[in-house]
Every structure is written in structure tokens, then in C-alpha cells.
Amino acid sequence: MIQNRLIPYSTRRSGGREARRNLRAAPLAEDLRPIRAGLEGGNFKPLDAAAVQAVDATVYQILEEIGLSQAPDSGVKYMTDAGAILGEDGRLRFPRGLVEDTLAKCARHITLHGQNPKHDLLLSGSRVHYGTAGAAVHVVDVAKNEYRESYLADIYDAARIVEQMDNIHFFQRPMVARDIPDPADLDFNTVYAAIKGTTKHVGVSFTEAEFMKPVFEMLHSVAGGEDKWRARPFVSNSNCFVVPPLRFATESCLVMEEAVHNGMPVLLLSAGQAGATAPASIAGAVAQALSEVIAGLIYVNAMKPGHPCICGTWPFVSDLRTGAMSGGSGEQGLLTAACAQMLQYYDLPGGAAAGMADAKMPDAQSGYEKGSTLVMAGLSGLNMVYEAAGMHASLLGFCLDSLIIDNDMLGQCLRCVRGIEVNEETLAVQVMKDICMGGPGHYLGHDQTINLMQTEYVYPAIADRSSPKEWEELGKPNLLEVARQRKEDILANSHPSHISDALDAELRARFKILL
């Protein structure tokens, strides 16, 4: 129903430019902002109705006829007790009834918590959230035009920057701390650096299940007790529980079991590479990824019905000329969007990857690769868009400066996700009458224009929209240099204090903290 909410015409220009400047400077209530976490997408559907039905039928066929191999003994028992069939060839197969039962009872509309509740993310329907992820082994040094190894301090710095970026909604570990050789120390300190640097939801990985006990002890202390942790778990486990094609990853499955037992949400991550570990056809890669992730849902729900899981369909693209991954390709955008569409068909909370530029530096190639794949992911209504900021070289390099640039770019993507509101007020016939029939002949000073400046339009934080003359007068600002200055300012002046000094000292006395 069209609401009759007309904005009265004002013959006065409401202070002109100064009024508009003051209005833009005033903070907006969260529900009035033009973009925010959880905007609903879903308007881009790369699969037609017949294609969706064909993929769905193929998923059931894969699970029932091919199944998955190499589950750990504990997983075999959980799944066979639930109704899976262990064949003489060692493969677990999943009858249609078991798949349907799992899809009926698994958790939907889940919330990923932040340490600060204002950063809670509701994964429901086509609500979209952008964030980081990855396991890059290098940091991109823009000033020197080179790559260096990534360190623990880089993870902490990245978390501190993400804390300040409105359009990056969660922080999943984007780099590996190459300065920590011991895997147990690596797992623990990665979690510490992430939760110390940001109050947003954090995603992390673990090497082995036995390394997780001290991490949970730390998380209980930070949460204020195990009960409070279980009520609001602010860290999730990014878990590569399968090794495509269609094999369980034993160690990762044991990690997954430990996460479930300790109340930690799990990202069930299937990361096949089209043409290598997944079919070269886009449709086949989507069907295999969905099958693997649904097998993971069966596994988890056999252990604990309704445990919060994110369905991580992450099929990647190969450049079939070389076999190398091509994260910035148009095909990657289509793969991700098709996975999002299928996850909405099953009404499952899901995530996939976009924004993984092949470009080595934050340049024009990086911009078009990131922008095209990320806007497709958002328009498709993907709940969690991973790798959305900072990533280069198809997951091999991470750039702190790019976090600043990509935050602006994600603002543009989110505005596209929000779409266009059409009602009597926005169609503005009365406003046109006011302006054209005896009015000033332009809309610059109209109340509607003033009111919509902040609620309808998004303004970049660092991108340059000045005229060439103004640009010269401003000293010819360069986007990379502006981003670098903003990065340096955050790292010099932003020191998160949500973990108190007293608690931090207690943690350092109990655990081997290397940051």
C-alpha cells in the first residue's frame, strides 16, 4: 500500500549549502542510514526455476549414489546412527529421507554475535553482510610495491582497522602468522589477536582438536564465564571439513566436533576448485559444493540438532589455461551468486567468497575485479560474503591499505543491494508541482532534497569526487596515499580497550600470548 507521506514545500532554502553541510555532519539513527549490515538482497538470480530444480535433484542424487568417504570413526557412528549407510567401499551415502529430515530440523535464522551486541549479525533469508577471511601468507606493501611474509601483529592491525570500517561487518582471520611456527601457539594467538583487535564477530580456524581447550578457556574468561560464552558465542570456527571432491577431512572433522561440543558456531566450508577438485562446469561445481555442505549439516545435526551452522559453499574458479585459481573472474561472481540462490532455495544461512582480486596491488584491475564479484554476491542475497575486503593475488596476499579502499567500495555495493524504494513520497509528484508551478525551478533547496541527502545517498569516505580544479587545489590527492594515511592514523591512535588491562594481564599470566 502506498503511504501518503508528503513532504511540504518550503520556499526558503533552509540555509542552503551550510544547512546541507550541517545535516550531513549530524549522525543518523541506525535505521535511517542508507546502508547498514543486513540489508536484504536476492534480486539477482543467475539460475532460472528449471535450473534450480535440476541442481536440487542432482544434490540428492550425489548424496544418495556417490556419498562421501574418509569420515573419522566418530563421524561414521554419528551419521550411521542418524540413518546414513556405510558401503563396503567405505563411502557414507545419505538416503533422501535423511537429507530431508536434516534440512527440516537444522538451524535457520541464526545470529552471529559480536563482543559488542551492536555488531550482532542475523543470518536470515537474503540479509547481506560483508567481511574478511582467508589464509594469506603475505602482506601487500603498497609503498614498496612488494610482498612480505604476514605476522601475528598484522592480524591484530587488520582487526583494529576493521573495527573502524562501517561497511566491513565481521572479521574472519585473513592471514597466517608466519612468525609462529608451533601450530598450537599459532591457533591460540590468532584467536587472541582477533578478539583483542575488534568487537565484531570473529571467525578462526584450528589445526587440531587438542589445541582448542586453552582457546575456550580464554573465551570463557573474556565472555565472563562459560554460560555467558554459550549464550553469546562471538567466535565461530571456519572449518574445511571436506577435501573436495566428496571426501571428509579427518582432522578438520574432529575440530568441528570439538567446536560443536563447546557451543561454537561452525562455518561448514567446501572449497573445491572448478576444473581441479570440482567439475569445470559452473553448474556441476555448485551441485558438488551444496552436496558436501549438506553432508556436513547431516554430520553436525546428528551430533547436536539445531546447532548453528553457516553453509559455506565456496567453489573457486580455475584459469583453465594454467590451472591457477582466478578469484577475480566474472565466473567466480556467477558461482558465488548461484550458490547464494540455492542456499535461499533451501532456506539455509550461508556464506561464500567474493572480492578475491587476482590483482597483486590495489589498482584498477583490483577495483573492477572486486566490485563486479562483490556486487553480484550482494545482489544475490548472500548472508555472509567472505574475502570481501583486503584480499589480493587470489588469496595469497592481504593489504591493510585495501581495507580502507574496499570499505568505500562495499558502501557502493550495499547501496545497490538496498535497491530503490517506490511509493507516493519517493515518486515526488507533489514536489515536482511545488518546484515547477511557481517554484524556483530546481530542487536544491527543497525540504525533500535536504531530508534525503543522508538517507537515500551514500558518500565515500576517501574516494575523490572533486572537480579537476578542486583536485588541483587540494594538492592532487591520490587514493592509495589517502588510504595509507588513514591506515597509519588508525594504527597509531586506535587501541581497543574492550578487553580490560586487568583481564589482559590475567590472560597473559595464564597463557602463552605472543602479541
Q: What is the DSSP letter of 140?
A: E
Mean residue pLDDT of the chain comes to 93
In the chain, what's the furthest Cα-to-Cα distance?
85
Q: Select from 387, 396, 370, 358 the least CA-distant residue to 148.
A: 396
- pLDDT grade, residue 321 (50/70/90)? confident
pLDDT in tens, 354-382: 999 999 999 999 999 999 999 999 999 99
Beta carbons within 8 Å of 262's beta carbon, 6+ residues apart: 212, 216
Is it the case that residue 23 has pLDDT exceeding 70? no
pLDDT tens digits along 213-259: 999 999 999 999 999 999 999 999 999 999 999 999 999 999 999 99
Could you tell me what percent of the chain has a pLDDT over 70? 95
**Against a cut of 0.75, is the pTM above it?**
yes
Q: Which of 196-200, 323-327, 500-504 shows the lowest mean pLDDT across its residues?
A: 323-327
Q: Give 266-279 pLDDT, tens digit per residue.
A: 999 999 999 999 99
For 400-431, what is each residue's pLDDT tens digit? Answer: 999 999 999 999 999 999 999 999 999 999 99
For residue 9, what pLDDT is reported? 33
Q: Would strands 397-398 and 318-319 be described as parallel, antiparallel, or unpaired?
A: unpaired
DSSP string, 382-420: -SEEET-SSEEGGGTEE-HHHHHHHHHHHHHHHHHHH--
Of 311-315, 389-393, 454-458, the range with the lowest mean pLDDT is 454-458
pLDDT at 8 over 60: no
Is the CB of residue 266 less than 8 Å from the CB of residue 307? yes
